[in-house]
Amino acid sequence: MLNVTEKQGWLKFLVIISVALLVNLAQNAAAMTDEDCLDCHTDPDLTVEVDGKTVQLTLDGDKFAGSVHADNGCVSCHEEADVEEAPHPYPMARVDCANCHDDIAEIFADSLHGQALENNDPYAPKCIDCHGKHDILSMQDKDSPTYVMNVPFTCGRCHQEGSPMTLTHDIGKHNILKNFSMSIHGEGLFRKGLTVTAVCSSCHTAHNVLPHTDPNSTISRLNVVKTCMKCHANIEDAHTKIVRGELWETEPHKVPACVECHGPHQARRVLYEDSLNDQFCLKCHGNPDLKKILANGEERILYVNVDDFEHSIHQEKRIACAKCHVNVDHQKNPVCQDSGPVDCSICHAQVVDLYDKSTHGMLVAKNDKNAPVCTECHGTHGVMSKSNFESPIFARNIPDLCGRCHREGEKAALRYTGKQHDIVKHYQMSIHGRGLSQSGLMVSATCTNCHTAHSMLPASNPESSVNRENIITACAQCHLGIAEKFSSSIHSPQVSKTDKKLPVCNDCHTSHTISRHDTAGFRGLILDECGTCHEHETDTYFETYHGKASMLSGGEKTAKCSDCHGAHDILPAYYSESRLNRRHVVETCKKCHPGSNRKFTGYLTHATHHDRDKYPYLFYTFWGMTGLLVGTFAFFGIHTLFWVPRSFRERFKKRREHSRQSILKKDE
Amino acid sequence: MDNPQVEYVQRFSIFPRFLHFLVIVSFLTLAVTGMALKFASERWAEFVADFFGSFEVLGALHRLMAIVTFTYFALTFVLMYQNWRKSGKSIVQFILYKDSMIPNLNDAKELIQTFKWFFGLGPQPQYGRWTYWEKFDFMAVFWGVAVIGTTGLCLWFPETFTIFIPGYWINIATIIHSDEALLASGFIFTIHFFNTHLRPEKFPMDPVIFTGTMPLEELRHERPREYAELVAAGKLDEIKVPPTPRWFFVVSHVFGFTALAIGLTLVVSIIYSMVFLYVK
């Protein structure tokens, strides 16, 4: 009930009304002016009792004058107050912003807030809760509750942890305001004063706030990317290493949404808190008995050992279950039902690209049952960094890892038809294998250093890292100095322009049995290796002292091809840099023969006495000696041959004489 | 020998027997170690090298025995000198007389007579102290040591030798050394073994080079001219000696058979290798 207490009030009222009347007359129609309204509504004593509560009906005229609605006039909102004479009827209907802002009101009505309002949620916000009443300011105005700097506080009035609204409503996210203020967005806003940074309404919109489970929500899994990209327009370029650009648009369900890595209210540059709750997954998958019967009757254990995951690289990087198991559908129960296998390319796109082109990847494409997939080598939930000693892909563990299939008798070795056998055993006895496993030298090459980790291809494939064309590059990863030397040797295609097959590293050093060059085994092997192309030189070498002695035990010490010709810097003698060039040959021989001199180097290390044109002296000496030998044996051979029968005859005669004599003696 | 009534005469004094012992030891060692290198690609050569340890051990033994060879070569001159002084002849007479170590016209005659005897065209010649084949063996050692010795030194000290000779001469020295050694080993292990030990008259071996003594009967039959000359000069009793002690006789045989076995095994290996190496 209107309770006007002061008579003076009436007087004032009358004055105002008369003034208003005058103005109204002058203005042709308007019955009530803002001044008319403010006449009463600036009086601090203007109150009404509503349900026993005193409600003040006064407002700050200056603030109203500064508001966005100042020019519209009170009656444009409070239509019922547009009366000829005060007072206006009371009570009046609630101001309906939709009268003017019908488009926004429509959106708002479907929003979470609008729905709550309709459901008479006592905490449902109305327009005025955010925008104010008579003091509504433009969102550009720094004093406006909708000014970007003030938005978190405006929203926080309800969404602050501990507020009545948060206590009575089940909201998935907690500590929203606190987290936001510590996030990169909050930091930008509060500490750096950046007005372009995202606030609540930037992501959730101002009026169309919807839960993320609503497909129409700006923060739903399908839309959140678009939302983020309003500001982070070129983010795809920054994420090419993680996310294949096209997937983002064509198959968004396969790609983690922004918020899956960058926690919605906690986005930081590096620290990405879990967005989906792992505990939720482990409620079921933490049970060791959890199984699934497949269509073919097989049982699949669905238990996830948390301990494994705890030590995994994904845990270290805060990768939540849902970030790999992306096909989670909230409509299903359980949500992960038929989510299918994990596609590692979601994050490891480049690596999977390489893998797809490898022998392993191609086998997978053919549905070969032996084909190793990512998890075969990397494990599943316990996936570890290659720097972790326990990891199967830690350098020292790689021979065993690859050996699981490539060891003799295992599935990969069984289908292999090439010449390399017992590769794991041979590798382990090689300089690389012993360096790695016995000396603990972590720079030692292991399988993946030569074959690569994900692009392994048979050596016959031109793309293979161990193909003849590429093997030098592969070895040069570690043996760069040698490779550089080799590139200026006669065996290098840069020096020898020839169609003939030039040797590459593994022709001499082998692939898996690589040993130190000074071991007896390797020194013996040199001769065979060089001999495969330089047959004549090897044959004649074996006719000289070096070659003959090298065939006997301890023979590894005598000069081998590389001792004179060099190994990687090998050049024909006519090159001035050659070890056999006139300038260097005395020095070369001196390595073993300290007394080496110019004439000494004239020794023919590949001499043969079978070549009359090249080595006439040797040829005639040999045949002279052979003549002497044949002559001597011919003479004495004949001598003996005739002597033998004569001797027997003489003995026979003698025996006969002897027996005759004894007969005669007896007769006597 | 078992018969105490058999009379023995001295053929070799201790000095030449010692020299021959040095020859056997050094020659066998040189032959085995050298042939293992020459036929290095053969399995038996590998076995020899493995047995001794390595080719370096073979080389060391070969050089050690080279020193022994040069030693006995020098000592032979001492022996010759002693024999010359004992003979009371002038140096020219000593070289040219019938029983000199140098082959002469008489040896040629005996060679022809021997061939006639082979064909039953005449009696066996009246051999003296040295038959022509024994003289050849002796001279062959001289020839061999000279040739193999000098070329061997070239191979032993190539850096020093090439101060004077071209490097490729080392290759020539290798061929001469190796082929001459092949000739020497082949000759000793076949011809010498047969002429001295394996022919029916001596089979299985003649121990005289170890014991120094031979039965008087054998002297009379094998070397009738020497026997006759000794009888004529009345010196036969001077060279009569008691039989060799049994233990020494046994040791001689053991040593002799060992040497024979090694030599024969090696020559069989060489022939086998020569056939298969060059047939290959």
Query: Each residue of A296-349: pLDDT tens digit?
Result: 888 888 888 888 888 888 888 777 787 788 766 666 677 777 777 888 887 787
Pull the structure tokens for residue A357: 């082109």
Residue whose C-alpha is closest to residue A231's, from A131, A148, A139, A143 = A148
Q: Spell out which residues of chain B touch residue A554, defining contact as CB-CB under 8 Å.
A: 49, 53-57
With CA atoms as reference, the chain B residue closest to A543 would be B38
pLDDT above 50: residue A271: no
pLDDT above 50: residue A1: no
Model pTM score: 0.68
Query: Each residue of B213-230: pLDDT tens digit?
Result: 999 999 998 899 999 999
Compare CB distances from B167 to A545, A602, A609 and report the shortest one's residue.
A602
For position A83, what pLDDT does the model report? 80
Beta bridge partners of A292: A300
Alpha-carbon distance of A33 to A37, in angstroms, equals 7
Compare CB distances from B46 to A552, A557, A600 and report the shortest one's residue.
A552
Compare CB distances from B49 to A544, A553, A648 and report the shortest one's residue.
A553
Count CB-CB contacts under 10 A for residue B20. Answer: 16
pLDDT above 80: residue A267: no
pLDDT tier, A251 (very low <50, low <70, confident <90, very high otherwise): low
Cis peptide before B204 (omega within 30 of 0): yes
For position A424, what pLDDT does the model report? 93
Alpha-carbon distance of B199 to B118, in angstroms, equals 14
Q: Token pair 């919807």 is at which residue?
A: A210
With CA atoms as reference, the chain B residue closest to A546 would be B37
Pull the structure tokens for residue A42: 């600036």
Q: Output DSSP code: residue A345.
A: G
Pull the structure tokens for residue A211: 């839960």
Contacts of B253 (CB under 8 A, 6+ apart): B205, B207
Do A300 and A291 touch, CB atoms closer than 8 A? yes
Alpha-carbon distance of A230 to A249, in angstroms, equals 15
Q: Domain-by-domain residue ranges, chain A?
A: 7-95, 356-515, 522-608, 617-668
Q: Token pair 């010498």 is at which residue?
A: B192
Does any CB of chain B come closer than 8 Å to the CB of residue A638?
no
Tell me if residue A299 falls in helix, strand or coil.
Answer: strand
pLDDT tier, A16 (very low <50, low <70, confident <90, very high otherwise): low
Which of 247-276 (B) contact A at CB < 8 A? none
pLDDT tier, A253 (very low <50, low <70, confident <90, very high otherwise): low
Decide which of A283 and A629 is more confident.
Answer: A629
The distance from CA A610 to its chain's CA centroid, rounded to whole angstroms, is 64
**CATH architecture group of domain B8-279:** Up-down Bundle (1.20)
For position A245, what pLDDT does the model report? 54
B207: amino acid identity, one letter: P
Decide which of A554 and A90 is more confident.
Answer: A554
Q: Which of A30-44, A369-383, A516-530 has the highest mean pLDDT?
A: A369-383
For position A17, what pLDDT does the model report? 65
Cis peptide before A288 (omega within 30 of 0): no
Does any CB of chain B come closer than 8 Å to the CB of residue A652?
no
pLDDT tier, A48 (very low <50, low <70, confident <90, very high otherwise): confident
Pull the structure tokens for residue A70: 């100042």
Q: Token pair 């002597």 is at which residue?
A: A643
Q: B168 and A603: CB-CB below 8 Å? A: yes
pLDDT above 80: residue A154: yes
Alpha-carbon distance of B38 to B82, in angstroms, equals 38
Tell me if residue A447 falls in helix, strand or coil.
Answer: helix
Do A575 and A581 touch, CB atoms closer than 8 A? yes
pLDDT tier, A272 (very low <50, low <70, confident <90, very high otherwise): very low
Alpha-carbon distance of B176 to A137, in angstroms, equals 119
Interface size A-B, in CB pairs within 8 Å, comes to: 148
Beta bridge partners of A372: none
Q: How far is CA A599 from CA A589, A602, A616, in A?
A: 11, 5, 19
Query: Each residue of A617-631: pLDDT tens digit?
Result: 999 999 999 999 999
Q: How many CA atoms are closer than 13 Å to the CA of A486, on its beta-carbon side?
A: 20
Do A287 and A330 touch, CB atoms closer than 8 A? no
Residue whose C-alpha is closest to residue A198's, from A165, A226, A232 = A232
Query: Each residue of A507-542: pLDDT tens digit?
Result: 889 889 888 888 888 888 888 889 988 999 999 999
- Does the structure's ipTM exceed the value 0.95? no
For position A169, what pLDDT does the model report? 84
Q: B54 and A553: CB-CB below 8 Å? A: yes
Do A564 and A579 touch, CB atoms closer than 8 A? yes
Q: Which of A392-401, A523-532, A649-658, B199-208 has the highest mean pLDDT?
A: A392-401
Phi–psi pair at A195, nearest 5 degrees = -80, -5
Contacts of B196 (CB under 8 A, 6+ apart): B137, B202, B206, B209
Q: B187 and A633: CB-CB below 8 Å? A: yes
Alpha-carbon distance of B119 to A58, in angstroms, equals 164
Q: Spell out which residues of chain A touch residue B103, defining contact as CB-CB under 8 Å.
A: none
For position A243, what pLDDT does the model report? 53
Average pLDDT, chain A: 84
Do B6 and B215 touch, CB atoms closer than 8 A? yes
For position A67, what pLDDT does the model report? 86
Does any CB of chain B come closer than 8 Å to the CB of residue A545?
yes
Residue whose C-alpha is closest to residue A303's, from A282, A330, A327, A317 = A282
Count CB-CB contacts under 10 A for residue A346. Answer: 20
Q: Counting every residue, how long is chain B? A: 280
Alpha-carbon distance of B86 to A246, in angstroms, equals 116
Does any CB of chain B come closer than 8 Å to the CB of residue A623?
no
Does any CB of chain B come closer than 8 Å to the CB of residue A540?
no
A132: amino acid identity, one letter: G
Q: Spell out which residues of chain B touch residue A643, defining contact as CB-CB under 8 Å.
A: 118, 194-195, 199
With CA atoms as reference, the chain A residue closest to B194 would be A640
A347: amino acid identity, one letter: C
Q: Counting every residue, how long is chain A? A: 668
Does any CB of chain A come closer than 8 Å to the CB of residue B217?
no
Q: Spell out which residues of chain B touch residue A658, defining contact as CB-CB under 8 Å.
A: none
* A81 CB-contact burial (10 Å; exposed 0-12 / middle 13-18 / buried 19+): buried
Alpha-carbon distance of A563 to A467, in angstroms, equals 28
Lowest mean pLDDT among A208-217, A357-366, B241-250: A208-217
- What is the SS3 assignment for A3-65? CCCCHHHHHHHHHHHHHHHHHHHHCCCCCCCHHHHHHHHCCCCCEEEECCEEEECCCCHHHHH
The distance from CA B2 to its chain's CA centroid, rounded to whole angstroms, is 28
Do A445 and A478 touch, CB atoms closer than 8 A? yes
Q: Output DSSP code: residue A195.
A: T
Does any CB of chain A come closer than 8 Å to the CB of residue B162?
yes
With CA atoms as reference, the chain B residue closest to A607 would be B171
Q: Token pair 């006789």 is at which residue?
A: B249
Q: What angle do CA A503, A505, A509 make, to 5 degrees?
A: 110
Q: In terms of DSSP H, where are the helices of A119-190?
A: 127-131, 151-159, 164-168, 176-182, 184-186
Pull the structure tokens for residue A407: 């060891």
Per-residue pLDDT of chain B (280 residues; tens, 9 = 90+): 455 578 999 999 999 999 999 999 999 999 999 999 999 999 999 999 999 999 999 999 999 999 999 999 999 999 999 999 998 899 999 888 888 888 999 999 999 999 999 998 999 999 999 999 999 999 999 889 999 999 999 999 999 999 999 999 999 999 999 999 999 999 999 999 999 999 888 888 999 999 999 999 999 988 999 999 999 999 999 999 998 999 999 999 999 999 999 999 999 999 999 888 765 4
Q: What angle do CA A107, A108, A110 make, to 5 degrees?
A: 75
Count CB-CB contacts under 10 A for residue A377. Answer: 20
Compare CB distances from A599 to B162, B172, B179 and report the shortest one's residue.
B162
Contacts of B58 (CB under 8 A, 6+ apart): A552, B33, B36, B37, B48, B49, B52
Compare CB distances from B187 to A544, A597, A632 and report the shortest one's residue.
A632
Q: Output DSSP code: residue A494.
A: T
